[in-house]
Amino acid sequence: MKLDHKLHNDHGARAAPDIERHAHHDHSPHPNPIMAHDPVRHPAGKCKSAPGRFVPEGDGAQGCRSFHGSAGLGLRRVFIEALQAAPPDNVGFYEIAPENWMHIGGKAGKLFRSLTEQFPFVCHGLCLSVGGPAPLDETFLLALKAFMAEHGMALYSEHLSYCGDDGHLYDLMPLPFTEAAVHHAAARIRRVQDVLERRIAMENISYYAAPGQEMAEIDFLKAVLAEADCDLLLDVNNIYVNSINHGYDAEAFLKAIPAERIAYLHIAGHYVEAEDFIVDTHGAPIVHPVWELLDRTYQCFGVQPTLLERDFNIPPLDELLAEVDCIRALQKRREANA
């Protein structure tokens, strides 16, 4: 995922916080799970199946909401009234950038509350800068904790990246793939989980340079997840984008993912700058190779909750729902063949 010119442009290609998009007590395995997974054992190098399932608990959680086998949609203000008037049957859950909704009032705030009372929601943060050098914004985290409790939200995720120091860069910058960066990021993720009193998920980001690289991207990702003992928001489009830009095998990367840590999936479109360079814009329809990689993901890990992201060049809602239908069709096909 990426920041969108969000402050005001309901999702522009990598930009600023409306940021309308891109601000645990016990670290034993899922002790008080928001995400309850079916643990699996698997031979090295094989695809693994571990169905993800969101299970919100604690104050403010409005019952047990299972998202397993469902398709989600990122909520945007431009179509919130249409969703409230005629909620689509094919959307199983919604995702928001909490920075854009935590302090909103008026008509938009009422519409938002009416939706959170009816449907499962997850939070996908933009500006926490988990891997950054500046101290974590714990005031924001406490406000986020209250916001999630108020709306009964199941999960908070962020990007395995940084986006500033004293100020925001309004983009998601890659961390160096080094042992030192693993320890730094993992310690900060653990602190976020302690403050929120829940497990969180980190997203694998798209990146265009890897300065100071000491290890492969997949090894860095796995090391952070293990040391932080957190979950993974697996972005399928980002795997594809990075595989083209950095010349690696997307399926080999996929097979190396720790299945038991997958919380849910993202899928989105991108912009082709050149045959060997594509940009993760979230501003176009999903292309065939990404659909194929999503299907392969289900084959490897079982059907997972999957959310459609569209942050830029937002089309009519019907077009987005048609892509959600494609997600559900893939899921149903895999479920039928399981």
Report pLDDT digits (tens) over 291-314.
999 999 999 999 999 999 998 899
> Which is more confident, 21 or 284?
284
> Any idea which of 123-132, 226-235, 272-281 has the lowest mean pLDDT?
272-281
Closest alpha carbon to 96 in 163, 16, 173, 155: 155
Q: Tell me what pLDDT residue 167 has.
A: 54
Looking at residue 40, its amino acid is V
In CATH, the architecture of 5-337 is: Alpha-Beta Barrel (3.20)
Q: What is the DSSP letter of 14?
A: S
- Concatenating the DSSP letter of every residue in 260-312 gives GGEEEEEE---EEEETTEEE--S-SPPPHHHHHHHHHHHHHH----EEE---S
pLDDT tens for residues 178-198?
999 999 999 999 999 999 999
| Spatial CA neighbour of 75 closest among 328, 240, 244, 317 | 317
Domain boundaries, the chain: 5-337
Q: How many CA atoms lie within 13 A of 198 on its CB side?
A: 27
Q: What is the pLDDT of residue 50?
A: 42
pLDDT tens for each residue of 135-166:
999 999 999 999 999 999 989 999 997 676 66
pTM for this predicted structure: 0.82
Residue 238 phi/psi, 5° resolution? -65, -35
pLDDT tens digits, 98-107 = 999 999 999 9
| Nearest-angstrom CA–CA distance, 261 and 143 | 26
Q: Is the dihedral of CA 312, 317, 323, 327 positive or negative?
A: positive
At 1, is the pLDDT very low, low, confident or very high (cuts 50, 70, 90)?
very low
The pLDDT assigned to 272 comes to 81
User: Reduced to 3 states, what is the DSSP secondary structure of residue 34?
Assistant: coil
